[in-house]
Amino acid sequence: MSFAGMMLAGLMIDLAIGWPGWLHARIGHPVTWLGAAIAWLERRFNRGTRNIRIGMGALCVALILTLATAPALLLQSLLPGGIWGVILGGVLAWPLIALRSMHDHVAAVARPLAAGDLAAARAAVAMIVGRDPRALDAAGVARAAIESLAENTSDGIVAPVFWGAVAGVPGIAAYKAVNTLDSMIGHRNDRFEAFGKVAARLDDLANLIPARLTGLLFALATPRAAGCALRVMARDARAHRSPNAGWPEAAMAGALGVRLSGPRVYGARLSEEPWLNGRARDPGPGDLRRALRLYARAMALMALALGALWLV
């Protein structure tokens, strides 16, 4: 059975219909189910000394991974062979791929920003970034949306598809469990620094290859600027606070010829982040549209690669 074919089928289903609102209203989403389980375990396990919290956090990771992968293993074992197994595997993978929703969330920022409605653009970008949107001018809104698009292309699409292509439905389910754990408990603060330590390190490891593949996809999807994208990625990616997010963001910055990252405000705290492609200009509304087109080309390249793997 072709895992690459299953992931391609999942991509096509998500591109066609996304995750419909009526379905979300009726049953929620697998990621929200995992999130509820993580929150329940965290409330009961996250206590005691630092070493106890680290151990209980590791237990939480093990339980959530089991909860995600055991049903996936069972369902995959029941799939028929041939094309029907590929299609049904794609149906199982579909909820865990965010191809369409990623585009829609960023497009929701691009539309009001292009129309000069900064207030609406700030409200839209607040849905996809953690920084305070009230402090952002038009360039700051564009920069935040482009960064979110670049990073979440890796976390939300390339990484789950990569692990799905490696291990099928259990692979994509395990990755989404790890990524959801990191997003909920992998924070460097008093509450989560110890409890979420294992989750954060595991997420770093799981994204190591996909983040770099995403940067390469962005470079290949912009032939005229591929050299610049690769140079900026090689030079600046490691300056990012994240061991992985800097790769797709730096490649995107080089491909578009703009600067990304830099200082930003989270709540009342100023975070002095280094620039990626710092000598370039600030992005504008047109660059956000260009970023969405680059995203579409990169995802088309990934689909072609999956199709080639399926046919080999």
pLDDT digit string, tens, across residues 169-203: 999 999 999 999 999 999 989 999 999 999 999 99
DSSP reduced 3-state for 47: coil
Global model pTM greater than 0.85: yes
Burial of 272 (0-12, 13-18, 19+ CB in 10 A): exposed
Residue found under tokens 């990191």: 182
φ/ψ bin of 82: left (φ > 0), alpha (ψ from -120 to 50), beta (otherwise): left
Determine contact, residues 60/185, Cβ cutoff 8 Å: yes
Task: Return the pLDDT at 272.
Answer: 74
**What range defines the domain where residue 196 resides?**
3-311
Mean pLDDT of 261-271: 69
Alpha-carbon distance 103 to 117, whole Å? 20
**Number of separate domains in the chain:** 1
Token pair 């949107």: residue? 133
pLDDT digits (tens, 9 = 90+) for 292-310: 999 999 999 999 999 999 9
Q: pLDDT band at 269, cuts 50/70/90?
A: low
pLDDT of residue 71: 97
The pLDDT of residue 130: 77
The secondary element (H helix, E strand) that includes residue 150 is: helix 138-153
Tell me the mean pLDDT in the region 90-99.
Answer: 96
